Structure 1
Amino acid sequence: MFTLLIVIIVLALIFDYINGFHDAANSIATIVATKVLTPFQAVLWAAFFNFAAYFISRYWIGEFKIGNTIAKTVNVDFITLEVILAGLIAAITWNLLTWKLGIPSSSSHTLIGGFMGAALAHAFTIDGADLNTVVNYAKVIPIVLFIFCAPLIGMIVAYFLTILILNICRKANPARADRWFKRLQLVSSALFSLGHGANDAQKVMGIIGAAVIYYHTNIEVDPNYLKAEDPFKYFVSHWEWVPITSFLMIGLGTMSGGWKIVKTMGSKITKVTSLEGVAAETAGAITLYTSEHFGIPVSTTHTITGSIIGVGITKRVSAVRWGVTISLLWAWILTIPVSAIIAGLVYYLVTLF
C-alpha cells in the first residue's frame, strides 16, 4: 500500500505539471497577443509568479484553503487509495485530450470530477452504501455554482474596468498611453499568474493530502492524524515539501507552454489591445483572489475567458466570436461528468488487478 501511495503522489505531481502547460495560456495569452513579451519570455514570467504564489499562500494568507476544500469534496468513508488513483488517471487523460484538441477546459474541474466519479464507483461496490452521502455537497455546490459565477464575475469586472480606464485616459496621447499599458500588462499578468499558481497548485495538494490522510488513518495508523482537529492542516504542517513541490511543478509546467490554447485564448475569442489586456488580467486576478479568500476552487480558464469576453463587449457585442465561446462553454459543462465517467471506468479496471 505504501507503494501505491508513492505512485499517487508521483501521478499527482505529473498532473500538476500538465496543469501548468495546459493552463499556461490563461496568464500569458493576452500578453503574447499584444506582443508585450515573446512567448518564451511570457512563460518564464508566468512560471516565476506561479511559484512565487507559494510564499503568499504560506506566509501572507497563512493557510491553503483551496487544498483543504479539494481534500473534503468526497466523504471520507468513500475515499481509498484506489479511488484517488482512478480519479488522477481520469483527470490526466481528459487534460491531455483537451490540450491536444486546443480546448481550454478546466484542470480544476476535471480533477474534482475524477475524484467524485471514482468515489461513486467505489460506493456501488459497497452493499447498502448510501450514494447520496458520497459527495460532500457543502463543498461541491459552491464549486459547481462558480463554474458559471467565475466567468460571469470576470466578465462584469473586466467590462466596467475597461470602461473606467477608457474614461480616465480619453484625453491621453494614444502612443504614450499604449506604451504605459504595455508596461502595466507586465504587472497585471504577474497578478493573474500569482492567482493561477495559488488556485491550481493547491488542488494537487488537496489530492495528495487526501491520500496521505487515508494512509495514516486506515493502513499505517498514526494517532496524530486520528486526534487532529483538522487532519489536512496537520498534513501540511508535517509534509511541508508537498506544497513547495506542488507550486514548483505548476511553474515548470507553465514553462513548457501550451501554444494551441494560447492561440484560442489570445485571438480566437476577441482581439485585445494592451489596455484591454490589463483590464482582462486584472479582472481575472480579482476574481481568483476573491474565490481563494473563500476557499472555493475555481477555473482560471473560465475566469480569464469571461474577462476577455468582458473587454470584447465594451467595443461591441459582435466583437466577441460567440461561436468559439459556445464551443468552450460545452467543454466546461462536459468536463466534470465526462471526467467522472472516465474515473468510474478506471476504478473498475484498477480493482480488477
Structure 2
Amino acid sequence: MDIILLIALALAGFYMAWNIGANDLSNAMGTSVGSKALTLKQVIVLAAIFELAGALLFGGNVTGTIAKGIVPLDTIAAINPTIVAVGMLAAILAAAFWITCATFYKLPVSTTHSLVGAVAGFGIISIFYGYIGTSDIQWFELVKIAGSWIVSPVLGASVAYLAFFVVRKLFLKKAEEVAGVEKKFVWLQIATACLMAFAHGSNDVSNAIGPLYAVYSIYGYDGFGPFGLTTALLLLGGVGIVIGLATWGYKVIDTVGTKITELTPTRGFSAEFATASVVLANSFIGLPVSTTHTLIGSVIGVGLAGGISSVNLSVIKNIVKTWFITVPIAALTSMIIFVPLAWFFM
C-alpha cells in the first residue's frame, strides 16, 4: 500500500507542477507577451531553460520551509509515517484543484498561498485527530509567510514604479522618437524575462515538490537512479511547470499581459525587473513568497506611473478577491480530502 501512496504522491506533485506552470509561471511571463517583446513560443523555450536552472540552483532553499517549516511532520511520522504521506497528498491535491479552477477562469492566484493553506489544513485536522497539539504548528512561520504576501506586492509595486520613473526620465522624455527607445528595451525585457523564469524556478518549484520531499525523506529515500532526492524532485517539478506553461498558460497570460494595464517594453522591463529582484531576494533567505502577488503589484506599479486611470481597477478587484479566499478554500479542501484518503490508506 505504501508504494501505491508514494506513486500517487509523485503523480500529484507533477499535477501540481503543471498547475504552477499554467497559472503562476504564466503570470510571471505574461508581461513579456503582453508587451510583444516575446511570442508565446519564445517564452516557453526561455522558461524551459531558466526555470529549470533556477529550480536546480536555488530551489532547495525554499523547499525545506514548505516541507517542514509549518507542521511538525517528524512528530506525526513518529506515530505513523503513512499519516504524513496521506496528509501531504491531500494538501497537494487541494492546492492543485483550486489552481486548476482559477486558471480556467483566467485568474492569477498564488500557488504559494494555495499550498501553504493546504498544508495548514492538514495541520488543523491533525490537531482534530489528536496527532499533534495546537502549539505544535509553527504559527509564527505562518505569520511570517503571510506577512511576505502583503509586503511582496507592495515592494514589487514600489520597485517597479521607481524603475519605470527612472526609465521614463532618462530615456523616454529625452528621446526624439519613443518608438526607437521601446524597440531597444525589447532586448532588456528579454533579459528580465530570463531572470523572471530563473527567479520563479528558484522559489515556486518548492510548491510542487516540497511536500514530496518531506514524505520521501521520512521514508528514507535518498535519491532515484543517478540523482539525489532533491535533484530528482526538482527536475520533476521543473519539467511539470514548463509543460503547464506550454499547454494551458495562455489563459492567465492574457489576463496579466493585456487586461490590467497597457504594457510596453519599457513598462514590461520595469515590472519584470522589480518582480525578479524581490523574489530572488526572498529565495536567497529561504522565504516562500508569492510570485503572483509580486508580479501583479509590479504591473500595478508601472500602471500607476502613468496615472490611476491607466489601471483596470475592476480586473484588479477580481484578482484580489481570489487572493483573500485562496488560503481558507485550500485549507478546507485539504481537510475534506484527507478524511477519505486516510480511510483508504490507513
* TM-score using structure 2 length: 0.89
* Alpha-carbon displacement from aligned partner over 1:283-317 (angstroms, at most 9, x marks no partner): 00001111111211111111110000000011102
Find the counterpart in structure 2 of residue 231 from structure 1. Answer: none
Q: In the aligned structure 2, how far is the partner of 1:65 from the partner of 1:56?
A: 9
Q: What is the deviation of 1:257?
A: 3.8
Give, as a single letter, the amino acid of the residue that structure 2 aligns with 1:161. A
- Cα contact 1:81–1:214 (8 A) shared by 2: no
Find the counterpart in structure 2 of residue 147 from structure 1. Answer: 149
Q: Find the partner of 2:263 among 272, 281, 284.
A: 272
Find the counterpart in structure 1 of residue 164 from structure 2. Answer: 162
Q: Find the partner of 2:209 among 205, 210, 223.
A: 205
Q: Find the partner of 1:181 among 162, 180, 185.
A: 185
Q: In the aligned structure 2, how far is the partner of 1:45 from the partner of 1:7?
A: 30
Distance 1:239 1:321, change over 3 A: closer
Find the counterpart in structure 2 of residue 316 from structure 1. Answer: 307
Find the counterpart in structure 2 of residue 8 from structure 1. Answer: 9
Find the counterpart in structure 1 of residue 174 from structure 2. Answer: 171
Q: Find the partner of 2:72 among 75, 88, 98.
A: 75
Distance 1:317 1:78, change over 3 A: farther
Q: What is the deviation of 1:54?
A: 3.3
Specify the SS of the correspondent of 2:306: coil
Q: In the aligned structure 2, how far is the partner of 1:189 from the partner of 1:108?
A: 21
Q: What is the deviation of 1:67?
A: 0.3
Distance 1:263 1:95, change over 3 A: same
Structural RMSD (CA)? 2.0
- Cα contact 2:62–2:287 (8 A) shared by 1: yes
- Cα contact 2:111–2:207 (8 A) shared by 1: no
Output aligned runs, 1:233-272, within 5 Å: 237-272=228-263
Output aligned runs, 1:1-353, within 5 Å: 1-57=2-58, 64-72=60-68, 73-76=70-73, 77-78=75-76, 80-126=84-130, 129-133=132-136, 135-169=137-171, 170-172=173-175, 173-216=177-220, 237-353=228-344
Q: What is the deviation of 1:238?
A: 4.7
Distance 1:75 1:311, change over 3 A: same
- Cα contact 1:103–1:261 (8 A) shared by 2: yes
Q: In the aligned structure 1, how far is the partner of 2:316 from the partner of 2:76?
A: 37
Q: What is the deviation of 1:161?
A: 0.6
Specify the SS of the correspondent of 1:325: helix
Q: What is the deviation of 1:273?
A: 1.1
Gaps of 5+ in 2: 78-83
Specify the SS of the correspondent of 1:351: helix
Gaps of 5+ in 1: 58-62, 217-221, 226-235
State the identity as a percent: 27
* Alpha-carbon displacement from aligned partner over 1:76-97 (angstroms, at most 9, x marks no partner): 2246111111111111110111
Q: In the aligned structure 1, how far is the partner of 2:163 from the partner of 2:29?
A: 19
* TM-score using structure 1 length: 0.88
Q: In the aligned structure 2, how far is the partner of 1:179 from the partner of 1:166?
A: 14
Give, as a single letter, the amino acid of the residue that structure 1 aligns with 2:338. Y
Give, as a single letter, the amino acid of the residue that structure 1 aligns with 2:22. F
Give, as a single letter, the amino acid of the residue that structure 2 aligns with 1:123. I
Q: What is the deviation of 1:137?
A: 2.4
